[in-house]
Structures are given as C-alpha cells and as structure tokens.
Amino acid sequence: MTQALEHHNGLGDAANLTLTFDREVQDLRLDAAYSGAMQAAAARFEPRTGRFDVSFEIVNEASGNPTRLRFTGTAVETIDAAVLTRNIDRNELLKSSDIVIERRTKAEIGNDAASREQSLGMQVRRSMRAGQPLRSADLVKPDLVQRDQSVTVIYDTPGLYLTTRGKALDNGTEGDVVSVLNLQSKRTLTGTVTGRGQVTIQVATPTPAEDVTSSITPAQTGAPLAAARLASQLASRTASQLTSQLAAQIPSQPTTQVASQVTAAVTPKAE
C-alpha cells in the first residue's frame, strides 16, 4: 500500500509513510483462479487533507475479469527528528544528553529538520521547551566572544605578531567582525573573531615606495637625483650658476662631479 502512494503529490519514501484506514482491514479469501499478483490500478493522495484512495486489481485466470479492491484513509509522512529532552535557554550549548531521536510528522517540522550530529555543540536562537523538535533554523554557531568579556587582541601582519588584552564590545562567533576596546590605549578597534576569546586585527602592510632607477652608481644615488631635480627646475639658468648652487647643497661631492652632472642634465640631446 505504501509503495503505491510513494512520491505521490509530495509524499516521501514508502518507508516513511504511516497509513490509517477508514475501515479495519480484514483477511480476504479468493478463489484459486485468482492467481495473479495484486497490482495497484489507481492511487490518489490529497496533500491538504492527507486523504488517500488506492485501488488494486487481482487477475482471474479463468474468467479474465480482475477483482478490484479499494482502500481509503489518511497517510502521514514521518521523519527522524532531533528532539530536546529538557528546556534549553537562548544561547545555551547543546550536549549529547539534551537530544534524542524520535519519529515526528514531516508536517510538524517541514523540510528543515536538524540531525543529531548537526545539533551537538550548537546554540539555540531562542528558548525552547523539552519535547520540541529542532530545525536547522533554530541553531547557530556558538559565540566564541561575549560582550564585556576579556579577550586576547592579536595584531597580525607579515613579519609581526603581537598580542595584548582587550574587552569585547559585541558578541561574535567565528568569522564575525566585532568591536574591541584596547585596555592600554583605550582605543576602540575592529577585528575578526578567530577563536574562543580571541580577536585578530589585520594590520595593513605599507605599500613599497616606487623604485627609481638611475644610471649612476649606488654610492652616488642621493646626490645625482638632487642635482637632476634642481637642474630640471632651473633649466633656464647657466651651467656655471647651477654648478655653484648644487655644490652648496651637496657638499659631499667634488665640484667637478656636480658640474658634469648638471651639464648632462641641461644640455639638449641630439635629435
């Protein structure tokens, strides 16, 4: 009977169906000529009322006319559900002793039934009573950081790892972004919950300065760059005037070296 109704109008597997008949099912005795197997001829199910109407036929080898049997009643689909054994407060962690598996109607739970494995170690979003089935929507990851809790603040950047103490200003589970008060600097910071009582702050890595290439040797880099900048700004002045000014600003180089750099900077290149 359940196989005839399986997957009709939203019903699930035959193993999960419980049938209640309108009339008591009694033993039926048939002539030996009815040797064929009983086969479903028609099956109907109304999801709104849970009513079913199933007809079977058994072939008569002698006459060729089958005998029809009709059964009516209600069908209920049941599923395994994780059910609470005691009252649970909001945000309380679920332990193994808090949950038992029971068969409950799918209409009561819907398609969101939570398994035992899924429920253990989780928190409930709201207070729940003993005997209530758990749904996935009822569960949340446990808070690893509680508001006003003393936490370890981790400053993490490539090549640097520092820790200090702070006070959480928000609740948060793993991966949540929360605000933390640095107890030393009294500054409010924003970080990510990375463990129980831990908040990590990612410190931005400074962008490396742009590399400026030059044909001058490394030992002479500072002076030639200064000379080139001044030369471009004062291109309208004579080489001798520039040489005097640069020699005064870069005393570490001989005047002859400065003069040669200035001359190269202000002398137009051949086309």
- Using alpha carbons, select from 72, 117, 74, 71 the residue that is nearest to residue 94: 117
pTM of the model: 0.53
User: What's the CATH fold of domain 79-140?
Assistant: Type Iii Antifreeze Protein Isoform Hplc 12 (3.90.1210)
Structure tokens at 146: 């509680």
| Residue range 104-129: mean pLDDT, rounded | 91
The pLDDT, as a whole number, for residue 266 is 43
pLDDT tier at 250, thresholds 50, 70, 90: very low
Lowest-pLDDT choice from 27-41, 55-69, 211-225 = 211-225
Residue 245 reports pLDDT greater than 60: no
pLDDT computed for residue 229 by the predictor: 54
CB 157 within 8 A of CB 205: yes
The reply to whether CATH 2.40.50.100 applies to domain 150-202 is no
pLDDT band with cut points at 50, 70 and 90 for residue 211: low
Listed ranges 104-113, 126-135, 248-257; the one with the highest mean pLDDT = 126-135
Please count the other Cβ atoms lying within 10 Å of the Cβ belonging to residue 52: 26
What is the domain partition of the chain in residue ranges?
A: 2-78, 79-140, 150-202, 222-260
CB of 94 closer than 8 Å to CB of 109: no
Q: Strand (E) positions, the chain?
A: 17-21, 39-46, 51-58, 67-84, 99-105, 123-124, 139-140, 150-157, 160-168, 177-182, 188-195, 198-202
Nearest CA to 205 among 152, 141, 155, 153?
155
Q: Print burial letters for 145-165: b (CB count within 10 Å at least 16), e (below 16).
A: beeebebbbbbeeeeeeeeee
DSSP code at position 29:
-
Provide the mean pLDDT of the chain: 79
Read off the pLDDT of residues 172-210 as tens digits, 9 standing for 90 and up.
888 889 999 988 889 999 999 998 899 999 876 666 555
Most confident residue range from 199-203, 226-230, 264-268: 199-203
Query: Which residues, at least 6 apart from 97, have a Cβ–Cβ distance to it below 8 Å?
Result: 85
Q: Average pLDDT for residues 95-109, to the nearest whole number? A: 93
